[in-house]
Amino acid sequence: MTDRLDPSGAPMTRNDVAARELPLLGPAAGAGERPRVRERADAARNRARVLEAAGRLFATRDARQVTMEDIARAAGVGRATLYRRYPDPASIATALLDEHERRIQERILRGAPPLGPGASPADRLAAFYAAMIDLLERHLHLALGAETGGDRFGTGAYGFWRAHVRVLLTQAGAPDPEAAADAALAPLAPEVYRLQRHTLGLSQRRITESLEWMARRLGEERER
């Protein structure tokens, strides 16, 4: 295996596994994390080209058949250059999604209710669903591309969503939030959204409202 770098030049660890434990943003959040040595100009230029080209490709054709070769060609870059940073197309899609996901994470942690702190568990869960559906609506191709690797669960992002939902379910008095968290997140799988939105032709609004209904049912606090 060649040495492989993440976009900021630091050793790459397949997103942020630590975020699985704590509801915090990934370590590469924002503009902190200065790399040890400055990234060379040509490297930066190519990185931008790659991300731009990959985004275009994912939007165009079915994510599952975007190959490393395609991306390299579209970016005007050699394949080995691509492999230097990303092990597969899925990780590139993940990188493109990361930014959008972090924005939602920020709003959950420090934004206004009901997405941010302060509202009832049921309302926060409903707002969370709405925000995630909005993300899926706008970036479904990236979400689909990111999961073609198979495990959308290994990413730091999933750990964040999971921790958030687990806390909400705990507050709502669910009997086993640890087990219920993944079930509550499952409807947000990109494949599910594609089925509902495009194969079945449901509107974003119906899907969102349905999840909000589910959120209120699940998040409702009551006597035991």
Binding mask 71-110 for a second copy (x = CB under 8 A): ----------------------------------------
Q: How many beta carbons lie within 10 A of that of residue 88, not counting itself?
A: 14
By CB under 8 A, is residue 179 in contact with a second copy?
yes
Q: What does the alpha-carbon distance between residue 191 and residue 95 come to, in Å, rounded to a whole number?
A: 19
Running DSSP on this structure, what letter comes out for residue 1? -
By CB under 8 A, is residue 52 in contact with a second copy?
no
Give me the least distance between CB of 59 and DNA, in Å please.
Answer: 18
- Could you tell me the two tokens for 188? 């947000």
Give a three-class secondary structure readout of 10-64: CECCCCCHHHHCCCCCCCCCCCCCCCCCCCCHHHHHHHHHHHHHHHHHHHHCCHH
Using CB under 8 A as the binding rule, the residues of this chain from 134 to 173 that contact a second copy are 148, 150-151, 153
Residue among 96, 187, 182 at smallest CA distance from 143: 96
Three-state DSSP state, 112: coil
Three-state DSSP state, 7: coil
The option from DNA, a second copy, none interacting with 199 (CB < 5 to 8 A, set by class) reads a second copy
> Where does this chain bind DNA (CB under 7 A)?
1-2, 5, 9, 37-43, 45-47, 67-70, 76-81, 83-84, 87-89
Q: Give 70 or 209: the residue with its C-beta nearer to a second copy.
A: 209
Interaction site with a second copy (CB under 8 A): 64, 148, 150-151, 153, 174-176, 178-180, 182-183, 186-189, 191-192, 195-196, 199-200, 202, 206-207, 209-211, 213-214, 217-218, 220
